[in-house]
Amino acid sequence: MMQRQSSGDIRLIKAERMRALDERAINEIGIPGAVLMEMAGRGAARLIAEAGWLKNLDDEIILFAGKGNNGGDALVVGRVLLLAGYLKVKIALTAAGAGLQGDAKINHDVFVKLGGAVVELRDEKSWLTFKPRLDCAKLIVDGLLGTGLKSAVRGLYAEIIAAINEFSGPVLALDIPSGLDADSGRPLGAAVRATQTATFAFGKPGLFVTPGCEYAGRVEIIDIGIPQSWAAVESDAVRLLTADYCRALLPETPISANIHKGSRGHLLSFAGSPGKSGAGLLAAGAALHCGCGLSSLALPQTLAGQLEGRNPALMLTLLPESAPGLTRKLTPAELEEIGAGKNAFAIGPGLGLHSAAADLIKILLHNFSQPAVLDADALTLLAENYDILPQNRPQTILTPHPGEMARLLRCKTADIQNNRLAAAAELAAKFGVTVVLKGAATVIAVADGGLAINSSGNRLLATAGSGDLLTGIIGSFLAQGLKAAAAAQVGVFLHGLLADELLAAGFSSGVSAVALEKALPSTLAKFMAVVR
């Protein structure tokens, strides 16, 4: 997912508010709607030139245009291409040209007066007559349906979208792929699968979150003259996490000669159990790579003895057992000793689902106020008993994948995936915590309603142990003093950046969590070196 804007603070605006900002630009600043449409169309035409899709001036270009402003944008693109010398520019209009209104009507009439070809697809017969032309096209531009769509796509529009999706060449969507919900990214019955999307003024949340990002292709945000500062004061804007924004969240690098490990934060990880000890090693090891001075791994005494020295930099905290590998209930004195001097907790990877694990988590969260990140088995246990997590822990982070999220909200996984932003916001509000909903793309929600979508990461993260690394990375930043929202955001972005660096280096598959962990120091160093 790419964006033309270089600003580190990119806000994504929902459809209803985008319409309000359009009106504000027209009425408050005095920018005519036709000028906004012109800027949008010219920006999209520029992307076509930069993409290099068209090799010859006689390449056939088909621009599908609906009756609204999205169709007007397509008409501007068609005019710009026509004036650039392209000989076979065809507008496929799903309405009567004479019935168009406003700015779309203006641009339709100008296009026709310049000699442009418009084919009106007003019924099934006209569509079936025109459809074979798609086989001759080198490029399709989608301007059928805009961000105002609320109901499922049916009839002629559904048939056209299906034909566009069968097209073997590049498809450029204007503002949003037709049929996609701009806010959730959910296809409304049918949606265009674009090669690239030129979205106007501000990004739309649905373009950057699953499943919408799979339909949008490469996304470019086109400036059309609406002040970027307006987005910063939009209360329900969704932040897109970028390198510049997340880099500014990193903890300050100490420069004092008197700095020591104890002043850089101490993370205590409760992770690992018989058969799953690697999860604890990955989480606690990743924490050290991300800058905390000390990382301890708490394990049942028997298991801890077996792991002694596996990572010489880690400290092991031996938990008393009721049976080999099974932690017994801690006494107040034992609890105080274990938690003393720790700046944050990471709880859950490979911990196990037995009642002793549930008791341990509840005791920790109810008796200590340190920030904590909960993952994996801790989330499954929480889903079974909400009382494990007290309501007064705002510096707590939950990191579920979609299945775990469904258990926590007691719904179906498909419900989560259909609206990942809403699901993350619901869980964050329910428990008063920060939520990291993992997946493509990861969503971060805070209890006050703030939302962010991550822009880093790729398929290389889909490997066993990857989530354990993320738990340790986030835990490390918590131990170094970052607040929960910042720790979650920078942790998620850095975790994704690991995979991006490896993909850029030529790795396409077969990357293990161990390889991801080994890449952490160099990736973090390059990430910090830009400004440090």
Going by the DSSP 8-state scheme, the letter that residue 216 receives in this structure is: H
The answer to whether position 438 is within a domain reads yes
Last residue of a domain, one of 217, 234, 251: 234
- Return all residues near 185 (Cβ < 8 A) that are at least 6 apart: 205, 206, 207, 208, 209, 210, 211, 212, 213, 215, 420
pLDDT in tens, 62-115: 999 999 999 999 999 999 999 999 999 999 999 999 999 999 999 999 999 999
Which residue in this structure is represented by tokens 């991801």? 516
Count of the separate structural domains present in the chain:
2
The answer to whether residues 114 and 38 belong to one domain is yes
Same domain, 284 and 423: yes
> Residue 220 maps to which CATH number?
3.40.50.10260
Q: Using 50, 70 and 90 to split pLDDT, how confident is the model at 498?
A: very high
Distance between CA atoms of residues 87 and 255, nearest Å: 63
In sequence order, the 6+-apart residues with CB closer than 8 A to the CB of 255 are none
Q: Quick check: 277 pLDDT over 60?
A: yes
262 has a pLDDT exceeding 70: no
% pLDDT > 70, the chain: 96
What's the pLDDT at 510? 85
pLDDT band at 2 (very low <50, low <70, confident <90, very high): very low
Same domain, 214 and 287: no
pLDDT for the residue 4:
35
Averaged pLDDT, 113-137: 96
Q: Are residues 171 and 301 in the same domain?
A: no
Beta-bridged to residue 180, according to DSSP, are 187
Q: How far is CA 205 from CA 181, 342, 425, in A?
A: 9, 38, 14
Q: What is the pTM of this model?
A: 0.92
Report, in angstroms and rounded to the nearest whole number, the Rg of the chain calculated over CA atoms.
27
- Domain assignment present for residue 272? The answer is yes
**209 and 304 assigned to the same domain:** no
* C-alpha–C-alpha distance, residues 255 and 203, integer Å: 39
Last residue of a domain, one of 211, 234, 257: 234
- Digit-coded pLDDT (tens) for 385-442: 999 999 889 999 999 999 999 999 999 999 999 999 999 999 999 999 999 999 989 9
- The yes-or-no verdict on residue 123 having pLDDT over 50 is yes
- Residues 307, 223: one domain? no
Whether the CB-CB separation of 149 and 188 falls below 8 Å is answered with yes
Decide if 369 is inside a domain.
Answer: yes
Out of 249-258, 477-486, 520-529, the most confident range is 477-486
Which pLDDT belongs to residue 325?
Answer: 80
* 370 has a pLDDT exceeding 90: yes
Q: Reduced to 3 states, what is the DSSP secondary structure of residue 97?
A: helix
Where residue 324 falls among pLDDT bands split at 50, 70, 90?
confident
219 and 321 together in one domain:
no
Q: Are residues 302 and 206 in the same domain?
A: no
Please, which pLDDT band fits residue 6 given cuts at 50, 70 and 90?
Answer: very low
Q: Is 254 contained in some domain?
A: no
Q: Considering the domain boundaries, does residue 451 fall inside one?
A: yes
- Joined together, the tokens standing for residue 212 give 């919408």
DSSP 8-state class, residue 27: I
Q: For residue 269, give the H/E element and its range.
A: strand 266-270
507 domain residue, yes or no = yes
Structure tokens at 394: 């705002």
The alpha helices in 223-371, defined as continuous H runs, are: 229-232, 243-247, 277-289, 301-307, 332-339, 355-367
Q: Are residues 39 and 169 in the same domain?
A: yes
Asked whether residue 379 is assigned to any structural domain, the reply reads: yes
Question: Crossing angle for the helix pair 33-51 and 69-83, nearest 10 degrees?
Answer: 50
Average pLDDT over residues 302-323: 87
Say yes or no to pLDDT of 505 above 90: yes
Same domain membership, residue 315 and residue 192: no
Highest mean pLDDT out of 2-6, 319-323, 411-415? 411-415
501: domain CATH number is 3.40.1190.20
**SS3 label, residue 436:** strand
Where in the sequence is the domain holding 51, given as residue range(s)? Answer: 10-234
Does residue 260 lie within any of the structural domains?
A: no
Q: Which residue has the tokens 């989530």?
A: 467
409 and 520 in a single domain? The answer is yes
In this predicted structure, what is the pLDDT of residue 260? 56
Closest CA to 25 of 233, 229, 225, 236: 225
Q: Report yes or no: 494 and 311 within 8 Å, Cβ to Cβ.
A: no
Q: Position of tokens 């959730």?
A: 184
In the predicted model, what is the mean pLDDT of residues 202-218? Answer: 97
pLDDT confidence of residue 531:
47
Rounded average pLDDT over 336-353: 95
Binned at pLDDT 50, 70 and 90, residue 3 comes out as very low
Edge-to-edge strand order for the sheet containing 10-12?
A: 10-12, 238-241, 451-454, 443-445, 434-437, 396-398, 372-374, 344-347, 266-270, 294-300, 315-319
pLDDT number for residue 253: 66
End-of-domain residue from the set 182, 214, 234: 234
Range list of β-strands (E), 29-162: 60-65, 88-93, 117-120, 137-143
Residue 255, pLDDT score: 47
Q: What is the pLDDT of residue 310?
A: 87
| Percentage above 90 pLDDT, the chain | 86
Residue 155 has pLDDT above 90, yes or no: yes
Residues composing the chain: 532
Structure tokens at 126: 């006209």
* 221 and 277 belong to one structural domain: no
